[in-house]
Structure 1
Amino acid sequence: MIVDLHNHTSLCNHAEGEIFEYVEKAIESGTKCFGFSDHAPMDFDPKYRMSFAQMPEYEKAVLEVKEKYKDKIEILLAYEVDYLKDHMDERVLNADVDYLIGSVHFIDEWGFDNPEFIGHYQHEDIDVIWQKYFNAIEEMAISGHFDIVGHLDLIKVFKFMPRKDINELAKNALLAIKKADMVIELNVAGYRKPVGEAYPSASLLKRAFELEIPITFSSDAHKPEQVSLFNDEIVKLARDAGYTECAFFRKRKREMISF
């Protein structure tokens, strides 16, 4: 991937490998801009994220590899922030970073993408779940805190698909993303999950292109060997939708590069 903005470190407690291993795999893959956006701390679900006390350690580690590899690749510093009402923290939202990814991993505090809680699906109306998810994406965009929308249709992760038209369910979320001037990531992690396709789907991506919403690329790597996996597939997906440029950020300022 020419740009790869969503990647993790072992500080999130569910990723593996040394930070330099991710960087060296990105260099080997020909990446120009590689971003670390590990799970930001919050006072909820601490098992799967760094603590507030670890923020300086994380930022220092990323800035050290940024300097070490500056002649080979541009390293960017960011956080992936869970949009969850009453649980977001100014220490994260005001951090001195290149960008913030806003993601929805919880519906009413249910971690719907966590295999530990997959049984909860059998107790819910799938159409209602999907609409609640996209309502949260819409609220996240309206908040104005974030630069990139993380894995737009993550709710499909286990392939529990709605009966209703997905583009209709996501309509207001996409309009809010457009109004907020946010970027949508093309995230390859879905290829590694039961759904077996990227986030977002080709149909949602086509609608995003019609709305002139910019895109970026993300490995969402939790292991060094996942960096730039499915590069050819994700680039084809973007080009088939009509895109020829992708975004990256420096100090919260968006720039575009052709791919």
Structure 2
Amino acid sequence: MIVDLHNHTPLCNHATGSIETYVQKAIEQKIDIFGFSDHAPMHFDEAYRMRFDEMETYEKEVLHVKMKYRDSIRILLAYEIDFLEGYLDESVLARKVDYRIGSVHFLGKWGFDNPEFIGGYQNKNIDAIWEEYFAAIKTMAESHLFDIVGHIDLIKVFKFLPKKDVRCIAKEAIKAIKKADMVIELNAAGLRKPIQEQYPSHPLMELMAEHDIPITFGSDAHTPEQIGYCHDKLRTLAHHYGYTTCATFEERERQLINF
């Protein structure tokens, strides 16, 4: 089975291609379970996400292709929700979805993965930045609001890497994820970014496997051409660390299937 649970739509304002085109590409890539998890609305950084009044349109369009292509592929409905304290919105959390991806894209008001704000790394202790990031991941897990951790080491995107062992920096976050019974995605987007490495890194994969944390897969596609990107590489990586099953969801109920 091929599972791909992290994909976007043009409603986020930084993706291209119609929802139907994404589905057709997923079928072409022989994906069995395909999830739309576009950026949920939030009263912050509004240029890079759908509006609150677009949620119903998004859901209707995804449910439409779910029915239209039901004989060829299983389509899931989800949101990728930014974990930013003070900005989580109950109207988003109340939506009926198959799963929620929780992601950290901001440290305070700093969008650390946006090239526009790369200057924020200047004259800062890189280990302190990484520690702050994984403290946010830990707090996100402790909120018990999400099913999947999105691109767990996104902070490495521009190759500003810590001097300390990342396993030491991330260990408390990993424990919190395990305690919250969350899934961590293997996300291909990092292979398209300056870091040129999937999320998570090999040391984090080792830590995840030690804690027996379930995984799933995501292209994090923002164009149809990115669907299924390096999926074979992600599957090989997962097998290397002893994984034989991955998570999928229906109405927030998790199921582990062989891949």
Q: Which category of TM-score, normalised to the shorter sequence, fits these structures?
A: over 0.9
TM-score normalized by the length of structure 2: 0.99
Structure 2: gaps of 5 or more residues: none
Confirm or deny: 8 A CA contact 1:2 1:30 kept in the other structure: yes
2:59 is aligned with 1:35 = no
Residue 27 of structure 1 and its aligned partner are, at CA, apart by 0.8
Residue 103 of structure 1 and its aligned partner are, at CA, apart by 0.1
Distance 2:229 2:8 in 1: 15
Distance 1:175 1:156 in 2: 20
Confirm or deny: 8 A CA contact 1:77 1:98 kept in the other structure: yes
CA deviations 1:166-203 (Å, max 9, x no partner) are 00000000000000000000000000000001000111
Structure 2 equivalent of residue 249 of structure 1: 249
Structure 2 equivalent of residue 155 of structure 1: 155
CA deviations 1:73-110 (Å, max 9, x no partner) are 00000000000000000111121000000000000110
Confirm or deny: 8 A CA contact 1:202 1:241 kept in the other structure: no
User: Aligned pair count?
Assistant: 259
Structure 1: gaps of 5 or more residues: none
Confirm or deny: 8 A CA contact 1:7 1:219 kept in the other structure: yes
Q: Which amino acid aligns with 1:79?
A: Y
2:55 is aligned with 1:55 = yes
Distance 1:98 1:123 in 2: 42
Structure 1 equivalent of residue 123 of structure 2: 123
Distance 1:62 1:232 in 2: 26
CA RMSD in angstroms comes to 0.7
Residue 30 of structure 1 and its aligned partner are, at CA, apart by 1.1
Q: Which amino acid aligns with 2:128?
A: V
TM-score normalized by the length of structure 1: 0.99
2:172 is aligned with 1:172 = yes
Structure 1 equivalent of residue 26 of structure 2: 26
Distance 1:56 1:17 in 2: 19
2:112 is aligned with 1:112 = yes
Structure 2 equivalent of residue 207 of structure 1: 207
Query: Which portions of structure 1, spanning 4 or more consecutive aligned residues, are displaced by more than 6 angstroms?
Result: none
Structure 1 equivalent of residue 79 of structure 2: 79
Distance 1:15 1:91 in 2: 23
Distance 2:243 2:140 in 1: 24
Structure 1 equivalent of residue 258 of structure 2: 258
Q: 3-state SS of the aligned residue for 1:123? A: coil
Residue 55 of structure 1 and its aligned partner are, at CA, apart by 0.4
